[in-house]
Amino acid sequence: MRKEECFYLGKIVSKYSFKGEVLIKLDTDEPELYENLESVFISLGNSLVPFFISKSQLHRSNLLRVDFEEISNESDADRILGAEVYLPLDLLPELSGNKFYYHEVVGFTLMDSQYGDIGNILSVNDSAAQALFVAEKDGKQLLIPVSDDIITGIDRAKKTVFVTTPEGLVSLYLEN
């Protein structure tokens, strides 16, 4: 399994018991969806390694307490401490309406209410405080905030994200 075929579920943040249990900090708004997993992929080195779960339960909102079949003591748990945890993309719950996963809209067209087609989405940059669509139009790069105030609709069939951008934002990028 490659990372491109998976989504980031969370990170192993601490050991829970001397028997090798660990806590995974889940990166989700709905942690209860992931309480009864059979397995996960853990990023070790440059590989995703499958780990099977013998039991798990939610622990304080977005922490998942996990007992892996392969981990039976503290030193085994130390080896995976700090590792990222992934699941295959087909396990993502389907979203509807104006909700979407960032990877899902890459390649979609951004359609502005005033300017029309303002480019194709190359990626979503979520490393700053405000996530941004990174789009390209006629060789020019645009950065459009990912915000409920700006996104007016999504047409998955036509691969289009409809936006109403703030006054002057698009002209800043596209007009000479």
Q: In a structure prediction context, what are the per-residue pLDDT tens digits for the chain, which is 176 residues long? A: 888 899 999 999 999 988 999 999 998 888 998 999 999 999 999 999 999 999 999 988 789 999 999 999 999 999 999 999 999 998 888 888 888 888 889 999 999 999 999 999 999 998 888 999 999 999 999 999 999 999 999 999 999 999 999 999 999 988 76
pLDDT for res 155: 94
Q: How far is CA 98 from the centre of its chain?
A: 16
For residue 175, tell me if it sits in a domain: no
Out of 56, 90, 124, a domain closes at 90
Angle at 122 between CA 127 and CA 87, to 5 degrees: 60
User: Global pTM?
Assistant: 0.71
Burial class (CB in 10 A: 0-12, 13-18, 19+), 110: buried
- Residue 28, amino acid: T
**Residues 72 and 142 occupy one common structural domain:** no
Domain count, the chain: 2
Out of 59, 90, 121, a domain closes at 90
pLDDT for res 25: 95
Q: How far apart are the first and last CA of the chain?
A: 45
Say if residues 130 and 123 touch (Cβ distance below 8 Å). Answer: no
Out of 36, 59, 90, a domain closes at 90
Alpha-carbon gap, residue 157 to 155, rounded angstroms: 6
Q: State the CATH number of the domain containing residue 154.
A: 2.30.30.240
**Residues 18 and 67 occupy one common structural domain:** yes
For residue 55, tell me if it sits in a domain: yes
pLDDT for res 77: 95
pLDDT for res 176: 64
